[in-house]
Structure 1
């Protein structure tokens, strides 16, 4: 006997109430002399036996009522071995459908998939000699099987070749394919054997059960045999990573990464002391512990530091459980590279805050900055070898000599960034003559505004037209944008007009239309011209809140750090589109197990990769079979597939019908509910009590 709600049996203790009332209600007789006592004694003897029987019946009925109600609420059932369900008369064509979804990777001493393989072999061995059979591996993609035949060897070979999949399968779709295979067999009897763990996600109960078309254009339901490889379990206990977010954390320092993840527990029992480990570039950089309530979730955030910059592969891992495949989740994060900037100070000063690059150096040296500045004066800076730098800043520097210009030009053309700012040391004519090939536009003259002599209306200039969609200004919004637009400029350099045809572009202009930030691409590098100063000599921009983030972003943009490609992430069974560097010539993509993944070239030269067969890190290779650096991407499981809640027997019975065969031997354990009879018994006892209490 089994109980659906065994804890309700505690209510059976209420059956002691009538006994307690009876015991407390007993009274000891006290003698009282009475003249007519003889008449009373004769009457008592006649009625004593009848009252005693009535009280015994009332006590029994009340006890039965108080016992039957809680026991009925506990839903008791009797299990008894049932006989084999009657089969079709004569041979029956059989399709053995084997679930190979993610849930079948669950390990409980032995993996459910291996149990399913054994169950399928047992089902085939139990068929009659004239029963044709075929095997249908039920995966995310269903391939129609061969028609049922008498060759058992082919069916066993199909079982041997099967491997579990990485996502939940659709059993309903497999039933449809199995039914079509049965229609190809001339054998009159039709049977489908289903070997599965019957998780809730594998079978949509709203879809109709399978039917088979038979001669006469009729549709009949085949005989269904269910073999549950996880019998006796309401749920397969599983904890898994339900969500993961990884992003750079510049506020915590250079090359810092913030890892936030959510862990979910699918179980009726708590999960405590689950260890979570974070890896970056193959090295453990963080650990923490979680405790999960039954059916609960927990969130954790760790800030870790990477030893290298650029695209870095990592993973979050949990203590393994029955389904270890969803206890690890790989990722790729774009860690800002540490950049080096050579800052050439054209107007140094012994008074620190009056130095030309005082504010710039502070901005580039801030903890949130990806750059490490090296400051030198004009003489030493222009002679410095540029091989180890990503950006060169010329701050109020006199016109460089021809040999210095040659080195600067070579630096930019091979991919370096050049930032040029104005000041009283910059003479337009020498600069234009010597640096004309690098300058976005030729310099003309300095314009004074505000309190300067001849400043027109006496009002300082401010920024007017800004290309907010450009990567340089894209992050500025709200108060950040107000801080940029609030800067005042008393003097700035005017430049010659130009168009995009000459390779230059005005990213921001003053309110009178004069360019403020002008850029141009020279070779593989960029040049950015700022027509005012980086200190407070020509304006108050250096003390505005927007100065620090704009200088950091400008330097990173010139170094190409903002052009780093978006990290691609995919899901198992889906496709992703890669847009690698055209110079990389990607020709092949391999899965974590080393298998080749289909690749198609799109009309826009993107690469469509997939379907993606498994989770983990995927790598790309060029025509020479060499690994393409920085092109790896992560593929993850669908978190919904990790919910291993199972369909209960009542749901399976309502879907397949009571005639479905259950159990590994073609028999079913019959469940005989007795709680309904207990309710009827309690009702009859209550009625009988009322009859006994009626006065004649």
Structure 2
């Protein structure tokens, strides 16, 4: 709807009548001239008359329109849109994304400092009576000022005190929380929600945004997406850091692998440094192409000591420092026992020979694993509670006593794997295990041994994916006999499949541990599997799972938790927690039973935390959430598209937002367009006037005839 800021000039439209009046006053009356017959010239005269009449009418209309447009332009018209801002008091809700990614340096200040300055400019631009609320998801107190107040001094002071955290923030969830608290603006006028964020891909849930847009389609609220993304980001960050082994034996060696990701604006070489309690352990230099990743591997020898080895993997400082450092804490252990059960009872231990070689290649102990071999009777009679991984090769039977032992160890947290063989047919006994009660199991002998290529199945906790990655090629196993496993309606986790779709191995959770079943033996009686790299890698991955389950995990992410197996007869405890900055506090936790771990939380920043209780202490490594490492930003079209149906305004700065708000509140000026249109019509009018002057005279032949007629008279 047009609005005129100087309506008095609308009186100028009366001037548009001047060309019409002048046209009527200067109309020429035809003057009769005696002449002989004109029947041969009537057609030419008619054509000329029609042409002049059309030219005169068009010229007159253009002159009238030119005067009308000039008069309207002087009235300063503006156009308001359908979703223009209502007049009156406004209620502003400021949502500041306080996640770690807002610590990225943008020029001479961080993105979060830029967001706060933008929010302060917005608050200072408000009128008396306008109210403001402030929310900062990602901080200890996300409701900074809520509900909205009109005291701008208090709001500005609260804004100045907000600092970003180091955790992850789901900005769509934060927006939904604010709109829900405000009942989507129902019954309110002038409600605006301003979301300040860098809108990187990991903080935006597209499905949740579309659901929010569906709920708020008829909401009387305007959502401002205020983007504070860095204009130039030169950053290299650490990704997918892994340490092997997950624990140290004394001053044993360890290896660190990582990917270094470079932003599109980063060029040049970078240096990766590995440091421990005793100082720098290793360094490596590598070239990373802009927008690409490069892998790095560092090996080091742990310094002597009894405490866990704490240290960092770091990159040089750049625009985003939080992802330049990875903290670690490697526990030291005396060895994790792995039990190898020689089910066949052969004196030479042939049933477990290949298993031992896979665990300790060459017979040299180079991991945290300490394998021990028992025969079948010892397994049934002796206590194996300390063993975290039990590999049963070629069991002669699985009677009730054996099944009870297997399920008891798994319930306590052990990983049990059963590998069949020639000592006995266990296909019927296996269904007595709770985990495999729904299986149809039979022993199958292939007429012709064949190399059966395995295809991926459904991996249990990425075990299958890790094996595939380590092999780097399709898995092929020469098989002559196997257990044929056919699942019931509720499938178990599958570790690879044969080409006919049947599982190569199955695994099921049981209590705190697992029970797994392979379809071929750990000897060469059924297959050539023990001679393949697949066998060695699979056994080593099973060992890693068992080690990780038995060794305390001394690392987590910001906002995460750590499970502490604290040996004491109590279900509640208080721990002293010392932050990387040296702040001390007491954290009280409980657990459901004395065998369950304590789940400790309260890690709000990256670094090394010291946890102590009763003279015992541990170091916990806390790192940046992986979701705050990738800063790839979403496009404006993606953001507005996901919130389609709601009133959304996107801006990249205070000046841009203020201009757009002014347009919505006051309308877009129309007078420049009117003046340009008037100038175009003036050019057209001049062209038509020149055309009329060229055709305004009589046709040449008619002029000669009229001259001859006058002479004869």
Structure 2 length as normaliser, TM-score? Answer: 0.47
The structure whose residues are more often helix, as a share, is: 2
